[in-house]
Amino acid sequence: MRRVYLDWLRVLAILTIFLFHSARFFDRGDWHVKNAITYLAVQIWTDFLASWGMPLIFVISGASSFFALGKRSPTEFVRERARRLLVPLAVGVFTHCAVQVYLDRTTHGVFRGSFWAFYPHYLNGPMGHDGNFAWQPMHLWYLEVLFVFSVLLLPVMAWLKRGSGARWLAKTTALLAVPGMPYALALPVMLAVVTLDPSTFLGRRGWAGWCLVAHALFFLNGFVLASNDSLQARVEQARWVSLALGVVTVGGLVVITTRGGRFDFAASRDPLFFSVMGLNAWCWILTIWGFGRRHLNAVTPFLAYAGEAVLPFYVLHQTVLLVVGYFVVQWAIPDVLKWAIISSSSLALILLIYDRLIRPNNVLRFLFGMRPLPRKPPVAELPAT
Instruction: Quickly list DSSP for 54-79.
Output: HHHHHHHHHHHHHHHHHHS-HHHHHH
Residue 138's contacts (CB-CB under 8 Å, 6 or more residues apart) are 92, 97, 100, 101, 318
Instruction: Specify whether the CB–CB gap between 280 and 248 falls below 8 A.
Output: no
pLDDT at residue 129, as a whole number: 72
pTM of the model: 0.94
- Are 92 and 136 in contact by the 8 Å Cβ rule? The answer is no
Q: How confident is the model at residue 142 (pLDDT cuts 50, 70, 90)?
A: very high
pLDDT score, position 122: 94
Cβ-based neighbours of 117, under 8 Å, separated by 6 or more = none
% of the chain surpassing 70 pLDDT: 94
- 145 closest CA partner among 221, 83, 58: 58
Please name which of 98, 146, 136 lies closest in space to residue 119, comparing C-alpha atoms. Answer: 98
* Residue 342 pLDDT greater than 50, yes or no: yes
Residue 263 has pLDDT above 50, yes or no: no
Quote the pLDDT of residue 13. Answer: 97
Average pLDDT in the 117-142 region? Answer: 89
**pLDDT exceeds 60 at position 145:** yes
Smallest CA-to-CA distance from 34 within 320, 339, 265, 268 is with 339
Provide long-range contacts, Cβ within 8 A and 24+ apart, for 301-310: 303/4, 303/7, 303/8, 303/11, 306/11, 307/7, 307/10, 307/11, 308/359, 308/370, 309/351, 309/354, 309/359, 310/10, 310/11, 310/14
**What gap in Å lies between CA 24 and CA 321, rounded to an integer?**
10
What secondary structure letter does DSSP report for 331? Answer: S
Q: Which of 164-178, 195-209, 244-258, 264-278 has the lowest mean pLDDT?
A: 264-278
Q: Flag whether pLDDT at 260 surpasses 80.
A: no
pLDDT band of residue 261 (cuts 50, 70, 90) is low
Rounded to whole angstroms, how far apart are CA atoms 274 and 110?
34
- Cα separation, 92 vs 319, in Å, equals 10
pLDDT at 226 over 50: yes
d(CA 286, CA 265): 22
> 215 and 142 in contact (C-beta within 8 Å)?
no
> Rounded to an integer, what distance in angstroms lies between the CA atom of residue 49 and that of residue 43?
10
Q: Domain coordinates of the chain in residue numbers? A: 37-71+162-296, 74-144
Q: How far apart are CA 145 and CA 167, in angstroms?
A: 29
Question: Cα 32 from chain centroid?
Answer: 19
Cα dist from 274 to 142, 271, 372, whole Å = 22, 5, 43
